[in-house]
Structure 1
Amino acid sequence: MPPDLSVLTALPVQRREPLKVVSAWDLTIPYQEFRAQHLMPPALAAQLPDRPTRHRTYIVVNQKGGAGKTTTTMELAAVWTAMGYTVRVIDSDHQASLSGWLQPLYPEDVAPKDRRELTDVFYGRCSLDEATYYTRYQNLYVVPSTEELALVDLDPRVGKDTALRKAIAASQAPIDITIIDAPPALGKLSVNGLTAADEALVPLKVGALDERGLGKLHRTIRAVQEETNPGLVVRATFLTAWKRSEYAREVAERVRADYPEAAVFTIRESVKAAEAPKHFEPVRLFEPTGTTAADYDQAGRMLLHPKEDTA
């Protein structure tokens, strides 16, 4: 039995003063005078209007914990839902942070032991649609996970890198956008997500960047592109918890060099935004006037145009 849809919250459209968008970093400016900016490569800016925007799958991926994956997943889902899309997020992390944040609305007539999650999909116990649940927000759905999902990375019986891609392809739900929140490891779950995705989004916490980890992620993405998903593109990187510094600018330049085809979005640090998961709300609801919500909102709108009614 579905929940009472009349009590679901509609995520609001947000309009804030946008950050400046540039096509290249001006490295001649002293870092003390550098301002937060979004970078959009000219080739990508020309390509975005002509590519399909619906029925796309994104993966938010970085093997380093604390990079901002779950926040990036949540905020982009909120932006795109507010823009008119129907969004499904897949919690592919056994820590289940996204599931706890979104709090799936399980049917009252289904016992807890009969609730489905992503592990059930990998083991063939249910379809992806059967593991998809309402959340408290209109047109935003979640495939939850639990600690049991960690078994997928360890169990040799679950060995196909294409399992999640096939599950998404078999879905009959009227979903426009799927976002996979990857785990903080480059194992079977992350490779499944990369193989299933059309586009990869890479969040990087500027103050805790692991150069070696960044190199490993880069090699994993390129390996997936060569072996299991040649259509995968790195669409954007997100510099999370951004504060003005020479190091922040060095990180931005390193990311631009590694992924010249991708946009680089600057997500300014906000202490209050970090409290949003404790209140089970997207940042755009918990701190709607803050810089974090504004920066994600602008990034989401740069990546996708508002949904067109094709009925």
Structure 2
Amino acid sequence: MTETANDTTARLAIPSQQAERLFLEIVADYDTELPYQEWRAQVRLPDTFGAARPRRTVVVANQKGGAGKTTSAMELAAAWVAMGYRVRVWDADPQKAALTAVTVPLWPEGVDPRDLKTLSTLFLAPGTTLADVTYETRFEGLTIVPSLADLGTVEKTEIMGGQLLIRQAIEADRRTRPEEAPDVEVIDSGPTLGLLTMAALGAAEDVVVPVVAGGLDFIGMQDLDMTLTTARERLNPNFRVAAVLMTEWAKSGVQRTVTETLAADYPDAIVSPIRRSPKVREAPFEAMPTRVYAPRDKAVADFAQVASLMINRKG
């Protein structure tokens, strides 16, 4: 761990009673016979789903860009921090490193940018520990394993045991630093089936899948299904798809069809709308989660509701 949080640290707002009133109705299954005029946004929480307890590793995954992976990772992490958990986010997307840009690590002063230790260091420099590449952020309770533009190098390098590296790093961190290790790990994976995505799935206990309702996005889910099957067979038979998030949700016939189809395809997962909100798009420009930028926004309530259903509230 490098520079500690100081007086620039901000608290992630706990949802107000007003925000909680925005929570959606929860149903055990969708009523596919309901007339369209009566159909509305609901959270499907199957009877077979059980909320987890920390410590937990959550991977946000979808092989199609623009589905809302980084937003989902950030907002779920912020919600768990607000619930009282210590959370570490991982920027494992080699394309944009957007999570690092939004979360903004507190980099150590006086270190040349070329010498900063990041997720790439963990993969490419033997002997690097997870503590070496974990940084405080200005948000109390939230740390980050950041990435820079060189993360793509990891995908092009043959690394012995690379697909198990993230899991082994987390296990070692929990074993050697039991008091400092976070309660929840949240890994934002990339849109390609490469080493980083497989290493993330190799560490996963819960997988969260963000989806935009549309033909191309839905077709892309077939590729993700194949990736999840491969990861289970070769790396990690124990993870579950815990939640499917319908990002940019707005009432439409296509939205309903896709939502009901995904509920059938993932019968044991939470299926939840994340209602369309301009605030979600504005917040990254201010380098903060929507929970801080617009704490009473309906999308903030949707992410908070999913977070509370996935992991038991602390205390």
TM over 0.5: yes
* Alignment check: 8 A CA contact 1:19 1:36 kept: yes
* Aligned residue identity for 2:77: A
CA deviation profile, 1:195-236 (whole Å, cap 9, x unmatched): 111110000012464233101101211221122101111111
- Give the aligned residue type for 1:40: L
Cα offset, 1:110, TM superposition: 2.9
**Aligned counterparts, 1:98-247, within 5 A:** 98-125=99-126, 126-157=128-159, 160-171=162-173, 172=177, 173-207=180-214, 209-247=216-254
Bigger CA drift: 5-14 or 177-186?
Answer: 5-14
From 27, 40, 43, the equivalent of 1:38 is 43
| Aligned mate of 1:256, from 254, 257, 263 | 263
In the alignment, what sits opposite 1:75? 75
**Is 2:90 the partner of 1:90?**
yes
RMSD: 1.6
CA distance in 1, matches of 2:224, 2:289: 27
Aligned mates of 1:136, 1:157 — CA distance in 2: 33
Structure 1: 5+ residue stretches without partners: none
TM-score between both structures, scaled by the size of structure 2: 0.92
Report the secondary structure of 1:142's partner residue. strand
- For residues 117 and 215 of structure 2, the distance between their equivalents in structure 1, rounded to whole angstroms, comes to 35
- Structure 2 equivalent of residue 280 of structure 1: 287
Deviation at 1:158, TM superposition (A): 5.3
CA distance in 1, matches of 2:279, 2:9: 25
> Which residue in 1 is equivalent to 2:27?
22
User: 1: distance between equivalents of 2:215 and 2:282?
Assistant: 19
Contact 1:218–1:258 (CA<8 Å) still a contact in 2?
A: no
2: CA distance, partners of 1:158 / 1:288:
44
CA drift at 1:6: 3.7
Gaps of 5+ in 2: none
* Cα distance in 2 for residues equivalent to 1:142 and 1:208: 34
Deviates more, 1:147-156 or 1:244-253: 147-156
The Cα of 1:297 is off from its aligned counterpart by 0.9
CA deviations 1:221-280 (Å, max 9, x no partner) are 122112210111111110000000111111111211221111101100012221100111
Q: What's the offset of the Cα at 1:159? A: 5.6
The one-character-per-residue Cα deviations of 1:133-180 (angstroms, maximum 9, x if unpaired) are 011100100111112111222222456311111111111342110000
Name the SS of the counterpart of 1:5 in structure 2: coil
Rounded to whole Å, the distance in 2 between the matches of 1:281 and 1:36 is: 27
SS of equivalent residue, structure 2 residue 163: coil
Identity of counterpart residues, as a percentage?
38
Instruction: State the secondary structure of the residue aligned to 2:147.
Output: coil
Is the contact made by 1:234 and 1:259 (CA closer than 8 Å) also made in structure 2?
yes
Pick the aligned partner of 2:300 from 293, 297, 300.
293
What SS does structure 1 have at the residue aligned with 2:48? helix
Q: Which moved more, 1:98-107 or 1:280-289?
A: 280-289
Q: How many residues align?
A: 303
Decide whether the 8 Å contact of 1:31 with 1:244 is kept in 2: no
